[in-house]
């Protein structure tokens, strides 16, 4: 009975840290039936296939970012989703925008909805920071990289949204112009963004 209790406690400790995957139980040496038992008892909630959270756990408004980061740990939150985190622009994203390596498969998630763009090299690696949201490490583009990406992927989100993000970036001073142009070089869109920066400064 002590063993049963200790495994349950170990699972609850894991759940208190934030959303978790069923395969996270393997590293903690917790048998999968414990997961089903706590779900049946209404202690845990199945958010999506293979993703669980503690029922009633406090969650931020960015909880869906944490859920996606847990399911797709190599993904990087970008574009409209990153703009929302940084308080730039006014467009509320209808999905979680995710930047993946060009060779990576697009993940299939039931919830939340995702939009995926791909990059490689400097365009993928430059300007990425890590934030902890609801106990989960979330990789997200920096403000400068986010704005540069908006111009790189303007066919996906529209030039007007990219320009609004640039105006907010310059107005709120969340980064320097040099940081923005450096990110634009990594994205290979320096020549595209420079005239807009010059017109607005």
Arithmetic mean of pLDDT, 55-73: 81
pLDDT exceeding 90 applies to what percent of the chain? 51
Residue 121: the pLDDT is 96
Of 169, 173, 167, 171, the closest CA to residue 199 belongs to: 167
The residue-averaged pLDDT of 138-152 equals 97
pLDDT > 90? residue 182: yes
**Cβ neighbours of residue 159 under 8 Å, at least 6 residues apart?**
none
CA–CA dist 190, 126 (Å, integer) = 14
Give CATH 1.10.10 domain extents, the chain: 2-54
In this prediction, residues 70-96 reach a mean pLDDT of 89
> What value does the mean pLDDT take over residues 141-162?
96
Bridging pattern class, strands 96-101 and 114-119: parallel
User: Which pLDDT score, from 0 to 100, does residue 61 have?
Assistant: 67
Q: What is the pLDDT of residue 131?
A: 93
Query: What does the pLDDT read at residue 68?
Result: 92
Two tokens, residue 48: 């999506």
pLDDT over 70 (residue 28): yes
What's the first-to-final CA gap in the chain, in angstroms?
Answer: 69
Topology classification of domain 2-54? Arc Repressor Mutant, subunit A (1.10.10)
Between 185 and 17, the more confident residue is 185
Rounded distance, CA 169 to CA 175, Å?
7
- Check whether 2 has a pLDDT greater than 50: no
Confidence tier at 59 by pLDDT (50, 70, 90): low
pLDDT in tens, 35-54: 888 888 888 888 767 778 78
Alpha helices in the chain (DSSP H): 2-16, 24-27, 33-40, 63-71, 79-86, 122-125, 143-152, 154-157, 159-172, 177-186, 190-200
Cα–Cα dist 201/185, whole Å: 19
Average pLDDT over residues 98-103: 96
CA distance 192 to 90: 22
pTM of the model: 0.75
pLDDT for 5 equals 75
Average pLDDT, the chain: 88
């Amino acid at each position: 009975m002590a063993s049963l209790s200790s495994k349950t406690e170990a699972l609850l400790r894991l759940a208190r840290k934030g959303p978790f995957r069923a395969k996270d139980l393997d590293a903690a040496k917790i048998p999968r039936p414990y997961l089903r038992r706590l779900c049946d008892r209404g202690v845990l909630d199945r958010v999506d296939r293979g993703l669980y959270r503690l029922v009633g756990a406090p969650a931020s408004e960015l909880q869906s970012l944490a859920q996606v980061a847990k399911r797709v740990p190599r993904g990087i939150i970008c574009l409209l989703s990153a703009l929302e985190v940084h308080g730039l622009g006014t467009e509320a994203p209808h999905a979680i925008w995710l930047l993946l390596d060009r060779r990576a498969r697009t993940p299939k998630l039931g919830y939340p909805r995702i939009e995926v763009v791909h990059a490689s090299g400097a365009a993928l690696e430059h300007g990425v920071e890590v934030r902890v949201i609801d106990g989960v490490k979330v990789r997200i583009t920096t403000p400068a990289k986010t704005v540069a990406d908006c111009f790189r992927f303007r066919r996906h989100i529209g030039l007007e949204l990219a320009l609004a993000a640039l105006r907010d970036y310059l107005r709120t001073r969340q980064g320097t112009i040099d940081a923005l142009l450096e990110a634009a070089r990594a994205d290979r869109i320096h020549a595209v963004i420079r005239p807009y920066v010059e017109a607005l400064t």
